[in-house]
Amino acid sequence: MKDSKENFKPFIPADKVVPEFTPTAVILGIILAVVFGAANAYLGLRVGMTVSASIPAAVISMGVIRFILRKDSILENNMVQTIGSAGESLAAGAIFTLPALYMWAQEDSSIKIPSFLTIAILAIAGGIIGVLFMIPLRTALIVEEHGVLPFPEGTACAEVLLAGEEGGSKSKLVFSGLGISAAYKFITDGLYLFPSEINWNISAYKGSAIGMDVLPALVGVGYICGARVSSYMLGGAIIGWFVLMPMIHMLGSLGGADAILFPATKALADMQPSELWSSYIRYIGAGAVACGGILSLIKSLPLIIKTFKKALGGFGRKGGDLRTEKDLPLSWALIGVVVVALILVLVPSVPIGIIAALIIIVFGFFFATVSSRMVGVVGSSNNPVSGMAIATLLIATALLKATGHVGIAGMTSAICIGTVICIIAAMAGDTSQDLKTGYIVGATPYRQQVGELIGAICSGLAIAGVLYLLNSAWGFGSEQLSAPQATLMKMVTEGVMNGNLPWNLVFLGVFIALTVEIIGIPVLPFAIGLYLPIYLSTPIMVGGLIKLWITKRKYKNEEARKDADGKGILFSSGLIAGEGLVGILLAVFAVIGIGDKIDLRNYGINLGQIGSLVFFALLCGTLIFAILKKSNKKEGKQ
């Protein structure tokens, strides 16, 4: 692979035709899109974060196609991961906003829960538009900027595909992690053999507490993010739980035992740390997250403007004659965007009018440009989709309020606008990574774009069902599904529409974020740590420390080090997928009434917090063992 555009040659030459868009690839891709979409939806609703599914999808594809079906086509494998990763990105966009509609219905019985059709149309519309908007961007970003924009996940996925049989053998790591995680999740949150959350209030330091959710997905997230990002998150949590909360408790207590500090309605002296967090810290964290997202956009303005100009120039350019240069026709893309926008306007159950549709098209293309450029620089995992969503909601809610669309109707419309644009941004970022992978391996662009559309449609239907199921089982905003990002979007929308947001707390978070930015610490991971409960940041930090230890060990060469780290990433991806899938299964059990019957606590069986720590240590041990099992023999640890 060469560094510059001029002398770059794809792995499969443009004049060579090999199996690519086959029934096997499409069916397997759809299955993975649904599986990873559901798993990421559950993960995002629990901890507010999602992870890229491109590499796990590619590895599983190679395991199935190469070793089970005895076929050999790198472009077929690439098509599987293209379709499969669409589910993860669409889920990320959907879970940031859509649960707010369910939460309003929970708070007011006169508000109807959104129907399956409404959610599916919103999700599919955002997915399709996000893919279509990437058509004029592909040449500008993927081809013209080759060797300039690294596209971390797209390049890494191409390396996995190019690894051939080695990538296929590594599929065992994904499945091993998935199986261990699934069993662990079922034991703790299905059988309740031990608590999945452990915590201790620190009585000598009033207002503070420490604990962790001893769950496999969080360890996996921490390993994939690494020690640095995990430490930023934990730093934000420490500021919230060991600085701000004790300070609020101390200052509030000066007013006496009955002192109540807005927005809480309970005396500070009687509030537990978790209540202090929900009453105060989440508003401070919301301000920090909003500021971090907006700062990310501002810092990227030069890149955004450059990409935007190239994208507009792309509308007048025709695709090349070579197989590797052919995109879907731009005229089809324009017609498709208009048709989808009209469907949003004309379907009665979707609260989007003509003005809202225009907002979606204008801001959607802008944020698709932002997202696709951003992931090319910092990768999909660091793409500030939530910041884009917050900016959209602020503008959309203000415009709707100014035009007389107020109350719950106006807020619902704003959330629907934010949902579609959030999914557009997430899908555009994912599509650009997939197209980068395709560019390196020599895929056909228009076939990949069709694959993305298929993945978006199937994932949209699946996500609608998953959200409906999870809401029926536990309800969003509950202990099982805190839906942190959607709660944040709900708060922002209500605050702008009703003017009742505790702005002093929000601006406190804004200025904390600005201080962190001035110091030079990445704002978004720190802000997310401040916004989320500390119980989530601590196990993520454990995963990050395991990665740090693995990468700092002595190896024979750098290739061996990367191979060991790659094993950890694949096993961690399995941990995340396994917990998410069992989470969906447990939701089914809760709906049909099986959940209580298998609860071991009803029979007096529970290992307590000590059992939680023991099992969590064993879980971490499986991750380390999976990485080192062949390392000592094959990699030559010194």
For 575-622, write each residue's pLDDT tens digit: 877 887 787 787 778 767 787 888 898 888 989 999 999 999 999 999
Task: Answer whether 38's CB lies under 8 Å from 466's CB.
Answer: yes
Mean pLDDT of 418-422: 92
pLDDT band at 634 (very low <50, low <70, confident <90, very high): very low
Taking the C-alpha atoms of residue 447 and residue 26, their distance in angstroms, rounded to an integer, is 11
Taking the C-alpha atoms of residue 514 and residue 124, their distance in angstroms, rounded to an integer, is 36
Is residue 466 pLDDT above 50, yes or no? yes
Q: What is the full DSSP assignment across 551-619?
A: HHS--SSHHHHHHHHHHHHHHHHHHHHHHHHHHHHHHHHHHHT-GGGG-GGGGT---HHHHHHHHHHHH
Is residue 149 pLDDT above 50, yes or no? yes
Mean pLDDT of 53-66: 74
Nearest by Cα to 509 from 315, 362, 294, 361: 294
3-state secondary structure of 167: helix
- The pLDDT of residue 239 is 95
H helices, E strands: number in the chain: 25, 2
pLDDT more than 70, % of the chain: 88
Task: Answer whether 92's CB lies under 8 Å from 389's CB.
Answer: no
pLDDT band at 358 (very low <50, low <70, confident <90, very high): very high
pLDDT band at 573 (very low <50, low <70, confident <90, very high): confident
- The pLDDT of residue 307 is 59
At 167-185, the pLDDT tens digits run 445 667 878 888 899 899 9
Structure token pair of residue 46:
């629990």
- The pLDDT of residue 443 is 93
Structure token pair of residue 501:
């947001």
Q: What Cα–Cα distance (Å) separates residue 616 from each residue in 179, 214, 270, 601? A: 16, 6, 32, 19
- Going by C-beta distance under 8 Å and a sequence separation of 6 or more, which residues neighbour residue 395? 359, 363
- The pLDDT of residue 635 is 43
3-state secondary structure of 209: strand
Is residue 318 pLDDT above 80, yes or no? no
Q: What is the full DSSP assignment across 387-412?
A: HHHHHHHHHHHHHHHHTT--HHHHHH
Q: Which residue has the tokens 């159950």?
A: 349
3-state secondary structure of 434: helix
- The pLDDT of residue 48 is 66
Mean pLDDT of 530-538: 87
Taking the C-alpha atoms of residue 56 and residue 54, their distance in angstroms, rounded to an integer, is 6
Nearest by Cα to 162 from 379, 439, 378, 446: 439
Structure token pair of residue 217:
């997905």
Is residue 198 pLDDT above 50, yes or no? yes
Across the chain, mean pLDDT equals: 83
Taking the C-alpha atoms of residue 391 and residue 382, their distance in angstroms, rounded to an integer, is 17
Taking the CA atoms of 334, 336, 341 and 342 in sequence, report the sign of the dihedral they define.
positive
pTM here?
Answer: 0.74
197: Cα within 13 Å, side-chain hemisphere: 13
Q: For the chain, give the longest Cα–Cα distance.
A: 80
pLDDT band at 632 (very low <50, low <70, confident <90, very high): very low
Is residue 310 pLDDT above 50, yes or no? yes
- The pLDDT of residue 29 is 93
| Burial status of residue 472 (CB atoms within 10 A of its CB: 0-12, 13-18, 19 or more) | middle
* Lowest-confidence pick of 257-261, 289-293, 593-597: 257-261
* Lowest-confidence pick of 114-123, 255-264, 412-421: 255-264
- The pLDDT of residue 382 is 53
Is residue 545 pLDDT above 90, yes or no? yes
Taking the C-alpha atoms of residue 595 and residue 191, their distance in angstroms, rounded to an integer, is 8
- Going by C-beta distance under 8 Å and a sequence separation of 6 or more, which residues neighbour residue 564? 550, 551, 553, 555, 627, 628, 631, 635
- The pLDDT of residue 636 is 43
pLDDT band at 49 (very low <50, low <70, confident <90, very high): low
Is residue 3 pLDDT above 60, yes or no? no
- The pLDDT of residue 596 is 80
pLDDT: which is higher, 500 or 535: 535
Query: What is the helix (H) or strand (E) element at residue 211, kind and residue range?
Result: strand 209-213
Q: Which residue has the tokens 């930023």?
A: 232
Taking the C-alpha atoms of residue 568 and residue 623, their distance in angstroms, rounded to an integer, is 7
* Lowest-confidence pick of 219-233, 325-339, 381-395: 381-395
* Lowest-confidence pick of 27-31, 440-444, 452-456, 634-638: 634-638
Task: Answer whether 434's CB lies under 8 Å from 158's CB.
Answer: no
Give the gyration radius of the chain's Cα atoms. Answer: 24
3-state DSSP of 94-162: HHCCCHHHHHHHHHCCCCCCCCHHHHHHHHHHHHHHHHHHCHHHHHHHHHCCECCECCHHHHHHHHHHH
Taking the C-alpha atoms of residue 408 and residue 20, their distance in angstroms, rounded to an integer, is 48
Is residue 114 pLDDT above 80, yes or no? yes
- The pLDDT of residue 139 is 80
- The pLDDT of residue 2 is 42
Mean pLDDT of 186-192: 91
Is residue 123 pLDDT above 90, yes or no? yes
Is residue 263 pLDDT above 90, yes or no? no
